Structure 1
Amino acid sequence: MKSPVLVLKDSLKRDFGSRVRYGNIQASKSVADIIRTTLGPRSMLKMLLDAGGGIVVTNDGNAILRELDLAHPAAKSMIELSRTQDEEVGDGTTSVIVLAGEMLHVAEAFIDKNYHPSVICQAYNKALEDAITVLDKIAMPVDVNDPGATILGLVKSCINTKFTRQFGDLIADLAIDATTTIGVDLGQGLREVDIKKDIKVEKVPGGQLEDSKVLKGIMINKDVVAPGKMRRKILNPRIILLDCPLEYKKGENQTNVELVKEEDWQVLLKMEEEYIENLCMQILKFKPDLVITEKGLSDLACHYLGKAGVSAIRRLRKTDNNRIAKACGAVVVSRPEELQESDVGTGAGLFEIKKIGDEFFAFIVDCKDPKACTVMLRGASKDVLNEVERNLQDAMSVARNILKSPKILPGGGATELTVSAALKQKSSLIEGIEKWPYEAAALAFEAIPRTLVQNCGLNVIRTMTTLQGKHANGENAWVGIDGNTGAIVDMKEQKIWDSYNVKAQTFKTAIEAACMILKIDDIVSGIKKKQAIGTGPTPSNPKIEEEGDADNEQILPE
């Protein structure tokens, strides 16, 4: 017998080592180039067409990238950076892609000179550590108990790069109001703010954007079960929240009832009615004004509750039910027989049903100490409201970051220029082969201010030379570029700030991702090959391996 032969298909076409790195760097740079023009106040908008035929008009980095359909794996990992940044700190999604793309771009020259990727990555990691040290030095503490000019200025500088900057302070005020409403004090100057769970953004087309407001309570797209019988406006309501059905449990599969006499049917119906009446009486003995359940509510239960003057809402989302519990101080109960007085919510000042446009909305507002709230957005169309919501989410994330980590840094590219100047000075102290990649990383930080200058339509070389000269001695750490006018100004005077959390996360994510992509030296497909019709194992050679991967196929001997 012959020995087994391993056949490597298309081995000449496969890329190894530096060829793969060049391909990855080009793919990453392409992703960065797509959204480079969306950085800063004078940024362009992108119009995206989704698979369903809808359109999205935005300059939010994460919103643009998640709509892209890319085949290259390195480009996909770049898109993942933006999603990570958005989940972690909520802002800086464009900056992180631009910075990561620049880090890979400057590394290309060292790959040409046969530098080992580990050497480049080691220099980059050292540069990251020194960059975070510089951030700690120039960061300015903020008093979170004074949500005035400083926090407003920070949120406004975030909003100024967005579509909604034309509406002035409105979005910034909404974001600060919402986050300070739900903030839970943890002591030692720290606060816990969960904007995803505790803040609901309700978009209602119609009206003007100026009609948008933060409700000290909850707004849900529901009406009472029986509008004719039940009250639609209640002052200081007692609220009971349930996550169980108020209807008879029908055992469809597990129950077999045999009715012999006609009276048995009446007995069965009577049992059902008594069961529902018993449920309602257990609820009514706590004298509630409003009962809300996540499940169904039968007509008979509706009758008993309506007769007692209790309003009811059914089939509510669990997330909305939890928000109502946090807003009015109620406890969601699973079994009516286990209800206690402490489970009844008494923190709400008003329950009211309002009709906006063609739909009814229930408002549970004027809560005493709400730990959840709703932001009601009004606007001309759904497209405008969707973009306003994306901008509001970013603004709320920035406000949350300040409440969690009360430190700010200069905006307008000033932070990156300061870090770049500090790393250039330190590179002269580094010995050995790591010196040059370290210095290249220092230059890569200038990509952010350079992109801001480009998007302002200024002379890039002249403006960047002036900025580098001002930062060379390390004294003018707060000098940057005003993204609206293109002037070189002091960021403190213009109140253009960045959150420490956002900037630190941007640097860490960008450099760590660049290192990961540089260390890739081979791309191997793990997709199983589909067998062509009519090419199965033959009787003469039944042992052909059918599940080799796309590149390696092992052929066994006959």
Structure 2
Amino acid sequence: MMQQPIIVMNTNTEREQGRKAQNANIQAAKVVADIIRTCLGPRSMLKMLLDPMGGIVLTNDGNAILREVEVAHPAAKSMIELARTQDEEVGDGTTSVIILAGEVLNTAMPFLERNFHPITIIAAFKRALEDGLAILKSVAKPVQTEDRAQMLALIKSTIGTKMTKTWSDLMCGLAYDAVKTVATEVNGRREVDIKRYVRVEKIPGGEIEESCVLDGIMVNKDITHPKMRRRIENPRVVLLDCPLEYKKGESQTNVEVTDEAHWARLLEIEEEQVKELCDQIIRVKPDIVFTEKGVSDLAQHYLLKQNITAIRRVRKTDNNRIARATGATIVNRVEDLKESDVGEGCGLFEVRKIGDEYFVYLVQCKDPKACTVILRGPSKDILQEIDRNLQDAMAVARNVLFEPFLCPGGGASEMALAYQLAQKANAISGAEQWPYRSVAEAMEVIPRTLVQNCGGNPIKVLTALRAKHAAGHTSWGVDGENGKAIDMATYGIWEPLAVKAQTLKTAIESACLLLRVDDIVSGVRRQDQLQQSSMQGGQQVPEDVQG
């Protein structure tokens, strides 16, 4: 009788397999973190990005860099996704979150080598995250969102690390004014939608100092007829989402004309229909008509006779902003147009020429809940970078309006976390104490990187900072310009609590997620083999499993 082969499961082999995958993930995370490590702080270096079309972008914005980086490793892709999550959630801290996540994963490596179970490490990390969020709240201070000087000082800390720090006062003012303009109260809740209601219009040429926030809207359009009015004070505005053209039949419609009179009658019907559309508009006595669709020559003629200016093919997003700024309602059918749909909140309508293009200005609005930020500058590349920095600054201002608490910047919050988490680790018993303590060590990566990026001595500065935090001075951090320890309360570098908390949460949660992975299985190669075998007309034979 043949004996059945005995298959023995080797747990050591499985553990080796799991550790291999975790080591590969940690290495991939470190590589991504190292790419943008030099982009942290005011003395950060720039990266030159080459896109597939041959264009070049110069930036030190972590999110913009990682968007362009092409990686194959799934863990690296997961890390790049972190920057996008951070940008969508709070709009700032994209570089910090990647560096911190990479360092937290790096500190987990020794424990995996000593055969700590990943679940034990993850439990310690989660505990450190809860305590860390409580520590951040304890070092935060409230801020008056109505105090312009205080808010500008806060936004300055965001722009201080970017390319636009040369014009930081101007940029901070633009960001604050834009966010204050679009802030509204809806059902007792504050709403600040900068993506929908703040439009940044980049116009190459002119001085950067000419950039401004309009008390209204600007659209890159011109009037449809040269004889229409180009300047109107206190205009009545009508917004349409329908064409002012003859409505043609469906594609299946066939008209057979046998008599010349019938042809003349067809043309008359077209004219009558367009005239009826225009009469419905003229009935409410507007000064300007904006439509998202087309305006026929005949409609222009009828509107011009009534001294009405028409602007066609306006973007839907621009139409929504004009509606918010002027108080008009967008109408889908001219038959439904009522007096209450007409907007009278605008003080001046004007068409201006900048360079070779015409722009429609609707300014001096009484209570604009939408606005346009005009950016001027020497070239498109510089304007793109200013726009990226401005978006970060506006996101920070918005976060503070929602959660008016500030944490000390310049790595001070991270040093407070590092010191206080290390103290709390002493009270933890069991194996969790060591991974918990490693999170405290990982927090020091932010101040250390700030010192390294400006050519300072990290060991000397971090020792001085530890001494200050041990004495209870939680606001001491790193001066990013010269790499020395300094009190952030007097230096005036503050960051929103929302950004700091989100950075901590995203970094530690993602590290926990990657530590849970114990194998990487690819379904791509198998699919390719099947396709090749089917093309050759062969049949794949599964390999024998040997006992």
TM superposition score normalised by structure 1: 0.92
* Residues 1:487 and 2:488 are matched in the alignment: no
Counterpart amino acid of residue 483 in structure 2: G
Q: Secondary structure at the match of 2:456?
A: coil
Alpha-carbon distance in structure 2 between the residues aligned to 1:346 and 1:149: 33
User: Match for 1:273: what amino acid?
Assistant: E
CA distance in 2 between counterparts of 1:313 and 1:285 reads: 18
- Counterpart amino acid of residue 525 in structure 1: S
Counterpart secondary structure, 2:68: coil
Residue 76 of structure 2 corresponds to: 75
Structure 1 position 492, deviation (Å): 1.1
State yes or no: 1:177 paired with 2:177: yes
Where 1:224 maps in the other structure, the secondary structure is: coil
The structure whose residues are more often helix, as a share, is 2
Aligned residue type for 1:502: V
1:65 aligns with 66
Q: Does 1:261 align with 2:259?
A: yes
Shift of residue 534 of structure 1? 8.0
Q: Distance in 2 between matches of 1:534 and 1:285?
A: 71
Tell me, yes or no, if the aligned pair for 2:457 and 2:483 is still in contact at 8 Å: no
Aligned to 1:145: 146
- 1:272 is paired with a residue whose SS is helix
The one of 340, 361, 373 equivalent to 1:375 is: 373
SS at match of 1:291: strand
Unaligned residue ranges in structure 2 (runs of 5+):
1-12
1:208-227 matches, within 5 Å, as 208-227=207-226
In structure 2, what is the Cα distance between the partners aligned to 1:195 and 1:513?
28
Q: How far has the Cα of 1:39 moved from its partner?
A: 0.2
Q: Are residues 1:476 and 2:473 paired? A: yes
Partner of 1:9: none
The answer as to whether partners of 2:237 and 2:328 remain within 8 angstroms in 1 is yes
Counterparts of 1:139-288 in structure 2 under 5 Å?
Answer: 139-146=140-147, 148-186=148-186, 191-227=190-226, 229-288=227-286
Does 2:509 match 1:520?
A: no
**Aligned-residue offset at 1:420:** 1.0
**Which residue does 1:128 correspond to in 2?**
129
Kindly state the Cα deviation for residue 81 of structure 1 after the two structures are TM-superposed.
Answer: 0.2
Write out per-residue CA displacement over residues 283-317 of structure 1, whole angstroms, 9 at most, x where no aligned residue: 01111110000011111111111111111111111
Aligned residues: 529
**Paired AA for residue 137 in structure 2:** D
Q: Distance in 1 between matches of 2:187 and 2:315?
A: 32
Distance 1:525 1:302 in 2: 62
The residue matched to 1:532 in structure 2 has which SS? helix
Residue in 1 aligned with 2:106?
105
Give the corresponding residue for 1:90.
Answer: 91
Residue matched to 1:529: 528
Q: C-alpha deviations, 1:341-373, integer Å up to 9, x for none?
A: 111010011111111011111111111000100
> In the TM superposition, what is the alpha-carbon distance from 1:261 to its structure 2 partner?
1.5
Q: Are 1:509 and 2:510 an aligned pair? A: no
Q: For residues 270 and 389 of structure 1, what CA distance do their matches in structure 2 show?
A: 51
AA matched with 1:41:
P
Give the SS at the match of 2:72.
coil
* Match 2:416 to one of 409, 415, 418: 418
The percentage of aligned residue pairs carrying the same residue is 58
- SS of residue matched to 1:292: strand
CA distance in 1, matches of 2:465, 2:502: 24
Secondary structure (helix, strand or coil) at the match of 1:529 reads helix
1:158 and 1:187, CA in 2 relative to 1: closer, same or farther beyond 3 A?
farther
Unaligned 5+ runs, structure 1: 1-11, 546-552
Counterparts of 2:263 and 2:325, CA distance in 1? 45
Deviation at 1:481, TM superposition (A): 1.0
2:201 partner SS = strand
Could you tell me how far apart the structure 2 residues matched to 1:535 and 1:294 are? 51
The 2-side partners of 1:191 and 1:418 are apart by 31
Deviation per CA, 1:427-466, whole angstroms, max 9, x where unpaired?
0111111000000011101111111011111111111111
Task: Please report the TM-score for the alignment, with normalisation by the length of structure 2.
Answer: 0.94
Q: For residues 431 and 250 of structure 1, what CA distance do their matches in structure 2 show?
A: 80
Q: Quick one: which amino acid aligns to residue 321 of structure 2?
A: R
Query: Are 2:42 and 2:161, in contact at CA under 8 Å, matched by a contact in 1?
Result: yes
| Contact 2:182-2:368 within 8 A present in 1 as well | yes
The offset of 1:252, in angstroms, is 4.2
Task: Report matched runs for 1:25-40 at 5 Å.
Answer: 25-40=26-41
Aligned to 2:7: none
Give the aligned CA root-mean-square deviation in angstroms.
Answer: 1.8
Q: Deviations over 1:179-229 (max 9, x none)?
A: 0011113587x63111100000000000010000000111111000012x2
Which residue of 1 is the match for residue 453 of structure 2? 455
Aligned CA distance change for structure 1 residues 461 and 306 (closer, same or farther; 3 Å) = same
What is the SS of the residue equivalent to 1:278? Answer: helix
